[in-house]
Structures are given as C-alpha cells and as structure tokens.
C-alpha cells in the first residue's frame, strides 16, 4: 500500500458526500424531529391550558357558590329583620290602640261620673227643697226660689 | 500505484482481508500479516477488526441511548431524547405490525438489532482508504471497518436469532409440538421423512438467508467502492483518460455513497424485520 492521489479523490468525494448529507439528508430528518417535538410540546401545552382552565372554572364556580350563599344569608337576615320590625310595629300600634281605647273608656267613665254627680245633685236639691218645705210648713214656690235652689245645688 | 493487474489485485485483497489473530505457522500466536497466514490459522482465529468495530459500535449505541435516558424529561423532548423516542416509536410500530405474540423481549431485541446493524453498515460510507491507511501507519497490516462485510459477524448474529427461534419454538409449543411441526406437515404422518426434509430446510434456511443477505449486500457494496477507488488509482496519469477517470471516480463513488445511504438503512431494517418475523413464527402454535 502506498499513498497516492486516490486518497485525494476519496477526500474530495467524502467532502462532497458530507455536503450532500448536510444539504439533503439531514434537514428532512431534523424537520421531522422538530415537527415531532413541536407536536408533543403543543399537546402538552394544550393539556396544561385545559388543566388551567379547569382550575379557573372550579375557582369561579366556588366563588359563585360562595356569593350565592352570602346573598341567601343576607336575604334571610333581611327577612328576619323585617319580620321583627313588623312585630315591633304591630306592638307599637297595639299599644297606641290600647292607649286610645283606655283614654276613651276613661273619658266615658268621667262623663258617667259627671252625669251621676249631676243627677245626684238634682236629687239632693229636690230632697233639700222637700226638707225645707216640710220645715217651713209650706210649699216653697219652686219658681220663686229657683235661683236660691240653683245656688244650693251648686254648693253641694 | 501502477496499472499492473497484480497491484490492483493486491489492493482488492488488502481491502477484503480481515485483521486476523491466531496461531502463526511458526507456532506462536499473533496477527496474520498476509491472507495466506490468516487462512492457515484455520477455525480458531479471531477477526480483530470485526470484533473491535462491532463492540465499539455497540458501545456507541448503548452510550447514546443511555445518555438520552439520563437527561430524560416528561415534557416536550428535544435533541437526543427526541431522536431516541422517534427511533423507538418506529421500531415499536414495526414490532406491533409483524409480531402477534406476547413477548417483552422482542422490542428491545429489534431496537438493538436495527441500530447495531445500521451502525455497522454505516461504516461503509467512510472512504475506504482512510482507516486502512491510518492503521497501516500505526503498523497494523489490515483493517476492515465494516463488520457486516465479514460473514463471521452476520452469521454470528443470525445464529443468535436462530437460537432464540429454537428456544421460543420449544418454549411455546413444547418439544412435542415443535417436533410435530417439523414432521407432521404438510403431508400428514405418513409423509414424515419428506415433511422433515422440507421443514428442516425451511428452518435451516432462516439463519442462512438472514446472514447471507446482509453479508452479500454489504460485501458487494464494499466491493464496488473498492473497484471505483481502483479506477482512479489504476489509471492515474496526466492523460485525458486519466483525468476523466479520476474525475468520474469522485462522481461515481459519491453517487454510490448516496445510494448506499438507502442500502445501509434498508439492510438494517430487513435484518430487524426478519428477526421479528422469525420469532413471530416461533411464537405461533399453528401456521
């Protein structure tokens, strides 16, 4: 074996061959690999996004639920408050009504008393007149002494 | 190099000679320095170049896939991991396509077979004079860098596959089933000797065709590379013909090398597919 120009030819050929591979063989392989990588990456990203979305939705639904509960509680509270208010109002009104009834009754009683007194006074004046008539022995002219009698009645 | 036929023959012989280690004629053990010496060593000799190159390439394959698994991520794969996943997916699809039984060993076996054969074949694309010249400078008389042009390597692998075929045939079908398969068909029990002959040939043909197909293709490819290289070397001279030959040598070997990308891959794929198919047949109860 001796070294000759064949080696040179082979080197040129090898350089060309490497160039060919770099130009026509390597890129499609790399493209296929890159496409595969991208596909997987996209799939993973989609999965991640879906997971994230799910998380968000869960969070949102929890929030909505919490809000609804809060609102319901508020409504119940308001209702209770309103109910107690109504009860208070009713109580107040009842009291007023009661008071009014009591006042009316009192006025009526006063009136009755007054009337009874009035009657009593008239009767007493009649008795007094009768008594005086008997004492004086004669009929007292009611008309003549009316003003006297009235005075007496007023004194009683 | 002169144009003498003798030198051309030497060139070819030199390129087709393995680096053989064995017992030399004087009784000592060492490396053969000529084809005659290598031949005289008989069976008990080792082709060191085949040995070294196939081990080296196997180690490269293992190292490559091992380093891909070391930095493995469950996210989007990039670089080496992406390539290895791609390769494994491809092999896995092939196995799923042609293997109907259930055996966890077939996938890894197919992967190893494919990449080992592929990397051995790939050595064919290196310029044929580089390594032998380098080795010559280091004092090593011969060095064939394509292990799959050595029938020892291809038969070694084919016998490995054959042993697996025998093992699984017996394991799945039992000794009786396997013997029955060899003797009771296609002609029934009265045609037993004929059956045995037919099925025996069928069985033996598997490893032989497996080994010879790979060896034949790669050996022929290598031979053509050598002949193309000879074209320029043998006619080197400052004549018009010499220059034309020299130029066409470059173009021809370039074309052959480009075509060889296909052959290299195809032969590895065929070896793998046949391995899967043979093992699939071994796994089938009736066929």
pLDDT tens, position by position, A44-101: 999 999 999 999 999 999 999 999 999 999 999 999 999 999 999 999 999 999 999 9
Beta bridge partners of B125: none
The distance between the two most distant Cα atoms of chain A, rounded to a whole number of Å, is 195
For the CA atoms of A60, A65, A70, A76, the dihedral, rounded to the nearest 10 degrees, stands at 160
Q: How many CB atoms are located within 10 Å of the residue B56 CB?
A: 14
What count of other Cβ atoms lies within 10 Å of the Cβ of residue A103?
10
- Coil, strand or helix: which one is B248? helix
Provide the pLDDT for residue A12: 85
Interface pTM (ipTM) of the complex?
A: 0.75
Contact between chains at B250 and A12 (C-beta distance less than 8 A): yes
To test the contact with chain B by mutation, choose from A7, A12, A13 the residue with the greatest count of B C-beta atoms within 10 A, namely A13
Q: Residue B211 above 70 pLDDT?
A: yes
Question: Residues of B with catalytic annotation?
Answer: 209, 213, 217
pLDDT digits (tens, 9 = 90+) for B52-87: 889 999 999 999 988 888 888 777 777 888 888 888
Beta bridge partners of B22: B30
The pLDDT value recorded for residue B235 is: 55
> How far, rounded to the nearest angstrom, does the alpha carbon of residue B260 sit from its chain's CA centroid?
14
pLDDT at B237 over 60: no
Residues counted in chain A: 156
CB contact (8 A) between residue A5 and residue B128: no
- Please list every residue in chain A whose beta carbon sits closer than 8 Å to the beta carbon of residue B90: none
Q: Which residues of chain B does A6 touch, with a Cβ-Cβ cutoff of 8 Å?
A: 1, 129, 229, 232-233, 236, 249
> Angle formed by the axes of helices B240-283 and B151-183, to 10°?
30
* Chain A CA closest to residue B231: A6
Residues 6+ apart with CB under 8 A from A41: B75, B76
- Provide the percentage of residues in chain B whose pLDDT is more than 70: 93
CA angle A61, A64, A70 (to 5 degrees): 145
The Cα–Cα gap between B275 and B95 comes to 10
Contact B82 A17 (CB under 8 A): no
Report chain B residues whose CB lies below 8 A from the CB of A32: 86
Burial of residue A108, with CB atoms counted within 10 A of its CB: 0-12 exposed, 13-18 middle, 19 or more buried: exposed
Using CA atoms, how far residue B225 sits from A22, B128, B178, B250, in Å, is: 21, 7, 44, 11
Nearest to B257 by CA among A149, A12, A148, A84: A12
Q: Quick one: three-class SS letters along A9-63?
A: HHHHHHHHHHHHHHHHHHHHHHHHHHHHHHHHHHHHHHHHHHHHHHHHHHHHHHH
pLDDT at B245 over 90: no
């Amino acid at each position: 074996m001796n070294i000759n120009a064949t080696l040179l030819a082979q080197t040129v050929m090898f350089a060309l061959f490497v160039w060919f591979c770099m130009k026509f063989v390597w890129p499609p392989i790399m493209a296929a690999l890159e496409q595969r990588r991208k596909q997987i990456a996209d799939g993973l990203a989609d999965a991640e996004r879906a997971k994230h979305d799910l998380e968000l939705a869960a969070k949102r639904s929890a929030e909505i639920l919490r809000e609804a509960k809060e609102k319901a509680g508020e409504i119940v509270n308001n209702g209770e408050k309103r109910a107690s208010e109504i009860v208070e109002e009713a109580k107040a009104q009842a009291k007023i009504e009661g008071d009014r009834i009591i006042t009316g009754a009192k006025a009526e009683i006063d009136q009755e008393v007054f009337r009874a007194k009035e009657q009593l006074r008239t009767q007493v004046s009649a008795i007094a007149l009768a008594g005086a008539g008997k004492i004086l022995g004669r009929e007292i002219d009611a008309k003549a002494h009316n003003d006297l009698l009235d005075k007496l009645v007023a004194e009683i | 190099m002169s144009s003498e036929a003798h030198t051309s023959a030497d060139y070819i012989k030199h390129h087709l000679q393995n680096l053989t280690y064995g017992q030399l004629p004087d009784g000592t053990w060492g490396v053969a320095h000529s084809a005659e010496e290598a031949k005289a060593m008989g069976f008990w000799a080792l082709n060191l170049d085949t040995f070294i190159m196939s081990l080296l390439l196997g180690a490269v394959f293992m190292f490559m896939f091992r380093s891909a698994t070391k930095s493995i991520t469950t996210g989007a794969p990039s670089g080496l991991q992406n390539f290895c996943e791609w390769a494994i997916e491809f092999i896995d699809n092939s196995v799923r396509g042609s293997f109907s039984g259930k055996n966890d060993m077939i996938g890894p076996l197919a992967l190893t077979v494919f990449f080992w054969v592929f990397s051995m074949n790939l050595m064919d694309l290196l310029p044929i004079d580089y390594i032998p010249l380098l080795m010559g400078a280091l004092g090593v008389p011969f060095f064939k860098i394509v292990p799959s042009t050595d029938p020892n390597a291809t038969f070694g692998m084919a016998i490995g596959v054959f042993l697996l075929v025998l093992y699984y045939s017996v394991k799945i079908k039992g000794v009786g089933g396997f013997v029955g398969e060899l003797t009771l068909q296609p002609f029934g029990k009265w045609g037993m000797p004929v059956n045995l002959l037919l099925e025996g040939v069928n069985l033996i043909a598997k490893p032989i065709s497996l080994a010879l197909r790979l060896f034949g293709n790669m050996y022929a490819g290598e031979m053509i590379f050598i002949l193309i290289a000879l074209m320029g070397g043998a006619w080197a001279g400052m004549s018009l013909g010499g220059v034309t030959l020299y130029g066409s040598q470059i173009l021809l070997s370039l074309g052959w090398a480009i075509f060889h990308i296909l052959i290299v891959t195809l032969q590895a794929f065929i070896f793998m597919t046949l391995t899967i198919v043979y093992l699939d047949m071994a796994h089938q109860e009736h066929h």
